Structure 1
Amino acid sequence: MNSHTQHADNLTFDQCWELLEGDTVGRLALVVDGHPEIFPVNYVVHRRSIVFRSAGGSKLWGAEAARPAALEIDGYDPHTEEAWSVVARGDTDVIQDQADKDAVDALNLEPWQPGPKDSYIRLSAKALTGRRFQVTKPDVWNTRLSDRRRASFE
């Protein structure tokens, strides 16, 4: 293995859930009108599933309540110089049970975007993968000021 090869560690199922539980915003990937779309969503983890809210009657969860989706989160820790990524793939369904809605509300699932978000959508993960890897040290003089890796050198 040469010195430029980065080693990635696969995260366990439990580590993936811990990272999901510790975050609040992810990127939701769906196929809409035959092409892929990505939507930022704020979410909570409820009974080892991912729940977010959507506008009622939207084209996404109106007539077709169940649809395949993926949610991705990632992060970077400047202290350990490690990056990580988690992807959950599965099917979505609209939560109808009021007790489940109440439980989700108790987890402080409040949409960030204004407007009514009356549909509670559950993504049940059929596949959950994650990895953590050491980030290549940047050449500070040639790295963009906005690059998060700089924080560990300044």
Structure 2
Amino acid sequence: MESDERPGTILSDAESWKVFERSQHGRLAICVGGEPDIYPINFLAHNGLLLLRTNPGTKLAGLTVNDKVAFEVDEVVDDEAWSVVLHGTARVIESQTEIDEADKLPLKPWIPTRKYTYVEITPNRIHGRHFELGEEPERY
């Protein structure tokens, strides 16, 4: 009996990275005070790294205490969807030379705030899936 289910296709690392390159918004997962938390973030995938901007606060404090992060992006176009998760190591950019270079990139806050702290995430592992969307198959 042929199945009418379509569970999704596993993406290669390169295909997964392409989803990050064409996206601008995702979710950063970190551990803050021993508890997991998720933050919506706009970002830029650039030269094999993720860059984001933030302000001092809970998120930045969590990143400096525990530099291991996960970052997730979902994309839906018409009847297709992609979901990609990246695990990596975060680092606050402190060198003025690196800050000056980052300032030249097209990474701006989405809301009217001043975010002067850059964070770079170096990927350690990436995995993703592609889905063809559709109605649930008949149960029986």
Normalised to the residue count of structure 1, the TM-score between the two structures is 0.77
The separation in 2 between residues aligned to 1:44 and 1:91, in whole angstroms, is 16
> Which consecutive residues of structure 1, in runs of 5 or more, have no partner in the other structure?
139-154
Residue range with higher mean Cα deviation, 109-118 or 84-93? 109-118
Give SS of 1:61's match.
helix
CA positional deviation for 1:13: 1.4
User: 1:70 deviation in Å?
Assistant: 1.0
Q: Indicate whether 1:60 and 2:65 are aligned.
A: no
Quick one: percent identity of the two aligned structures?
30
Q: Please state how far the C-alpha of 1:62 moved relative to its aligned partner.
A: 4.2
* Equivalence for 1:15: 15
Asked if 1:104 corresponds to 2:102, the answer is yes
Alignment of 1:77-92 (within 5 A): 77-78=77-78, 81-92=79-90
Tell me if structure 2 keeps the 8 A contact 1:85–1:130: yes
CA distance in 2, matches of 1:61, 1:77: 32
- Quote how far apart the aligned CAs of 1:112 are: 1.6
Superimposed CA distance per residue, residues 5-31 of structure 1 (whole angstroms, 9 cap, x where no aligned partner): 223211121112211111111111111
Q: Give 1:124 deviation, angstroms.
A: 1.1
RMSD over equivalenced CA pairs, Å: 2.2
| 1:25-57 deviation digits (Å, cap 9, x = unpaired) | 11111111222211111111122111101103x
Distance (whole Å) between structure 2 residues aligned to residue 61 and residue 75 of structure 1:
26
CA contact (8 A) 1:28 1:39 kept: yes
Paired position in structure 1 for 2:3: 2
1:63 shift after superposition:
8.6
Deviations 1:95-124 (A, max 9, x none): 122333233222211112333312111111
C-alpha change, 1:106 and 1:88, in structure 2 (3 Å) is same
CA contact (8 A) 1:44 1:104 kept: no
2:100 and 2:14 map into 1 onto residues whose CA distance is 25
Aligned pair count? 135
